[in-house]
Amino acid sequence: MQWLKEIFKVKLKEFKENKLAIVEIFNSISGEGISAGELVTFVRVAGCNLRCSYCDSTYSYQEFEAEHSRLKPAEILTELSKFASQKIICTGGEPLEENKAKRYLALYLAAQGFEVRIESNGSFPVYNTEEFNAFGGVELRTKLAYTLDVKSPSSAMAEQNIYRENFQKLGINDELKFVVANENDFEHALKVLNKEAEILAVNEVTINFSPVFGQLEAKELVRLLKSKEAFFVAKQLKPRLSLQLHKMIWDAEQKGV
Ligand code: SF4
């Protein structure tokens, strides 16, 4: 496997020389999921391979927009040094897009000592051992956490998801996010969970259900969750309602908050 190590060394060297397209870097509270309410710094990378019907960050779709900053990894560190938090949420766009330098930003930041949560749309593989080794070793996994979307039918992107291949690499600090617009989405989520329950239960992965803002009332999602309580208990899954705090605190369209 020496040749593989060499390839990743080259990638790492190249990575540090790349200018990454960054939409925004700002500090705020985490808006949702396990980390909701925590003070964190967001790094939003540009470019997404999907086009979800309900996307609320369309401004990050394109990688090559004039208004995005072009920053080398060391320059991103300089920006991050303006904030005290050691907790980063690396979001997008899509931060794990393969064959792009931005895929390695979260690993690079973890190797610098930050705690990094990666918010991914779930359509790319999570990091493999070779990638960890290229940035310092598999122990970096303890500095990283994943929030992986599982796309619903109403997103029109449900076919893009990677399921078991990713789920088997998740752990207790990781989470799935089902964004639900209607009962059909909820039923789809249950089908996925029914199939993958064992690995998710063993790995103690948190399962978030989040209503599409403006399309499904939170209380309706709670009703649906309650109606399947026996299923979640039987499958030993950890479901929870996740609301987007930032949309309650600020205007739903406001950026950088
Ligand atoms: S994956 Fe996220 S950023 Fe990409 S289109 Fe879907 S909601 Fe928008």
**How far is C-alpha 165 from the chain's CA centre?**
16
Pocket-forming residues, ligand 1, beta carbon under 6 Å? 48, 50-52, 55, 57, 60, 92-94, 121
Residue 253 has pLDDT above 80, yes or no: no
* CB-based contact 17:246 (threshold 8 Å): no
One-letter identity of residue 150: V
Residue 3 Cα to ligand 1 midpoint, Å, equals 35
Residue 3 has pLDDT above 60, yes or no: no
Residue 178 has pLDDT above 90, yes or no: yes
Residue 90 Cα to ligand 1 midpoint, Å, equals 14
Residue 36 Cα to ligand 1 midpoint, Å, equals 19
Backbone angles phi, psi at 26, to 5 degrees: -155, 160
* Pocket perturbation via mutation, ligand 1, pick of 44, 53, 56, 121 by most ligand atoms within 8 A of CB: 121
What integer best gives the mean pLDDT of the chain?
Answer: 94
Burial class (CB in 10 A: 0-12, 13-18, 19+), 96: buried
- Ligand 1 atom with least separation from CA of 60: 3
Q: How confident is the model at residue 2 (pLDDT cuts 50, 70, 90)?
A: low
Hey, whose CA ends up nearest to atom 3 of ligand 1? 93
- Ligand 1 atom with least separation from CA of 51: 5
Q: How far apart are CA 74 and CA 157, in angstroms?
A: 34
Q: How far apart are CA 199 and CA 196, in angstroms?
A: 6
**How far is C-alpha 223 from the chain's CA centre?**
26
Q: How many CB atoms lie within 10 A of CB 21?
A: 21
28-81, pLDDT tens digit by residue?
A: 999 999 999 999 999 999 999 999 999 988 999 998 888 999 999 999 999 999
Q: How confident is the model at residue 139 (pLDDT cuts 50, 70, 90)?
A: very high
Hey, whose CA ends up nearest to atom 8 of ligand 1? 55
Residue 176 Cα to ligand 1 midpoint, Å, equals 15
* CB-based contact 101:46 (threshold 8 Å): no
73-83, pLDDT tens digit by residue?
A: 999 999 999 99
SS3 call for 160? helix
Q: How confident is the model at residue 252 (pLDDT cuts 50, 70, 90)?
A: confident
Residue 35 Cα to ligand 1 midpoint, Å, equals 20
Q: How confident is the model at residue 5 (pLDDT cuts 50, 70, 90)?
A: low
Q: How confident is the model at residue 14 (pLDDT cuts 50, 70, 90)?
A: confident
Q: How far apart are CA 48 and CA 133, in angstroms?
A: 26
186-203, pLDDT tens digit by residue?
A: 999 999 999 999 999 999
Strand locations in the chain (E): 20-29, 39-45, 69-71, 87-91, 115-120, 144-150, 175-180, 206-211, 238-241
Residue 6 has pLDDT above 80, yes or no: no
pLDDT of residue 247: 87
- Ligand 1 atom with least separation from CA of 93: 3
Which helix (H) or strand (E) segment is 147 a member of?
Answer: strand 144-150
Hey, whose CA ends up nearest to atom 7 of ligand 1? 55
Supply 190's token pair.
């249950």
Residues pairing with 51 in the sheet: none
201-236, pLDDT tens digit by residue?
A: 999 999 999 999 889 999 999 999 999 999 999 999
Q: Locate tokens 């967001």: which residue?
A: 42
pLDDT of residue 257: 74
Q: Worst-scoring range by mean pLDDT, 12-16, 25-29, 98-102, 158-162?
A: 12-16
